[in-house]
Every structure is written in C-alpha cells, then in structure tokens.
Amino acid sequence: MSKIKPSQGAPFARIMGVGGYRPTRVVPNEVILETIDSSDEWIRSRSGIATRHWASPEETVTAMSVEAAGKAIADAGLTPQQISGVIVSTVSHFKQTPAVATEIADKIGANKPAAFDISAGCAGFGYGLTLAKGMVVEGSAEYVLVIGVERLSDLTDLEDRATAFLFGDGAGAVVVGPSKEPAIGPTVWGSEGDKSDTIKQTVPWTDYRDGEVAKFPAITQEGQAVFRWAVFEMAKIAQQALDAAGITADDLDVFIPHQANMRIIDSMVKTLKLPEHVTVARDVETTGNTSAASIPLAMERLLATGQAKSGDTALVIGFGAGLVYAASVVTLP
C-alpha cells in the first residue's frame, strides 16, 4: 500500500485573464508583393490576410511575452508574485537553452515559479492550457501563466510564394487558476507524425551552420495537403471536443480556431454546422498566422471589442506542424 500523500489541488481550473501584444509595425500585402509574383487579390482570396504585424529588433520573444503576460495577470486580478508556473509555447526562440520561460518569469517579477518551454507549433497554446489545467488541479501550482509567442518573420522565406504572406509576429497569454466548477473541458489532442513533412523547417540548423545551405532555415508547407487535413480532420477533432465537454454546437457562444487561413476557418464553420449566433474569431485578416500566439490573441480581441463576453462558452482548437492538434471547450474569462 502506497504511503504517498495524495495531491490536493483545486477541483477544477479556469482561464482567469487574457492579454496580448502585437508588434507596432503593420505590414500590408503590398510589402509582401515586393518579393513574390502575386497580387493583393490572390493573397486575400487564398488566405483572407490583408495585413500582419512584424516585430522590430527590440520586440523580442521575451519582450512581447512580458507585455502580454502583464496584461493577462492584471486582467486576472493577480500580482506577478502569485504566479507559480510559467509555460511558454514557441518555435521561434533561437536559444536552445535555457528555456525562455525562465527569463520571462524573472522579468515579470514572479517568485521562483516552475518555468519551461514547449514546442507544439500552432497547437502549442492548447498543449500549454492542458498542462496548466493539470498543474492547478493536481496542486503543484495555483496560478499558471500560459504564453504563446512567435517571431515567425524570422522564419519566413519572403521569396516562397506559398508561405511569404502567411506569417506574423505576436504574443498571447492567459492565466489559469482554480475554479469551483468545470471551466476548461477535456482536451482532445494528438499527432499524425506520418504527415510531419507537410509543415516543416526547410533544413536543420546544422546544415546552415556547416555551410551546406546558404539560405537561413524557414518554415515551408504543402498548402493543399494542409488545407484538406485541417478542414476535414480537424472538424472531426472539434466535434470530439464538443462531445467530451457534453455540449452541442447549439450550446456554443464563440468559436476560436487557430488563425491559419480564413478559408480553413470558414470551411470548418460550415462542416461543424455552427449556428449563426456563434461568434467566430477571424483575427487572421489583420494579424496573419502567429502559430502558438493566434488563439489567445484572437480571444483577447474578441473580448476587447465586445464580440465575446466573460462567461461565454468557447470552442478552441489549434493545429499545425507535427502534425499536432489540441481542442477543448472553455469558459471565457
């Protein structure tokens, strides 16, 4: 018989606050057209993207994260000293070690929290949210900061007609804390590694270091394959998340999918047969694809503009490189 004392955490967890940061530079499609043979009309019709934000040298992964984190902590009504866990999802922090989460934790003034990075591409926010929920319910942390942050402009090949217009920079953050009732539903997540070449980095860092390639590594993808997978397979995952939470599409107030592409978002809405009353996040139009940052950034904008309100029931789903995915139903802060 085990002598280990059982963990004593909260009965449930919830999102308590949200914050975001978008770089000051707004980049219209006209800038992208300087390096690829395309048109504004083609970019808009293919992706729905009109503008995106690109970070300045001063707007580092750390700096953007600190700004978003500060807003999320304030929105939650907490102080940085109350944060006992920091989870950062990113693929664009170029130091392998230490984890950028440790630097962010220090800069926001947290008191020696658990801090670590994860790499789950565009599903990274969902992965981080699930881990944070587990920490709160298990009792190893009371308030956990989850950050999705990217400087994808550093990993964009501006001569690649298939991807040059897609990516943007930014940071989104939420605080997860204890709840007396369920407010973050079961996560439906997984991976399809047999499709890992569909979205990938062009070459390993070592190829660039060793002079085997002259061009800095970038993110590339097979657009049509990604589109088909996202629309048909991820709609199934989204439905599974609804089922796991014990609700139907009619019970939803808000749908916040990863902001990858407007056509994907609209197709998922149609496949899921979402009612007209459901507010759908379409932040991709002015923010582009910010990978792990896209869901919390879209969430913050919906709340800030009044398109969504505190207490609304939202379906969130992230999907991307790996291919990985994560979906759950949450109550908005």
- HSE-up of residue 32 (Cα within 13 Å, Cβ side): 30
In the set 29, 93, 122, 261, the catalytic residue is 122
What gap in Å lies between CA 177 and CA 72, rounded to an integer?
A: 12
In the set 29, 53, 261, 289, the catalytic residue is 289
Nearest CA among 245, 303, 307 for reference residue 280: 307
Alpha-carbon torsion (242, 191, 72, 254), positive or negative: negative
Residue 166, preceding bond cis, omega within 30 degrees? no
Q: Two tokens at 289?
A: 């694809």
Concatenated DSSP letters of 125-189 = HHHHHHHHHHHHHHTS-SSEEEEEEEEGGGG--TT-TTTTTTB-EEEEEEEEEEESS--B---EE
Residue 98, preceding bond cis, omega within 30 degrees? yes
Instruction: Please classify residue 323 by burial: count the beta carbons closer than 10 Å to its beta carbon, then call 0-12 exposed, 13-18 middle and 19+ buried.
Output: buried
Q: Cα–Cα distances in Å, from 280 out to 52, 253, 293, 295?
A: 19, 9, 17, 12
In the set 29, 53, 93, 258, the catalytic residue is 258
Nearest CA among 74, 117, 129, 147 for reference residue 293: 147
Which residue, chain included where needed, has tokens 């605080």? 175
Write a three-state SS string for 202-221: CCCHHHHHCCCCCCCCCEEE
The one-letter code for the residue type at 235 is A
Q: Is 122 annotated as catalytic?
A: yes
Q: Is 93 annotated as catalytic?
A: no
Q: Is 29 annotated as catalytic?
A: no
* Catalytically annotated residues: 122, 258, 289
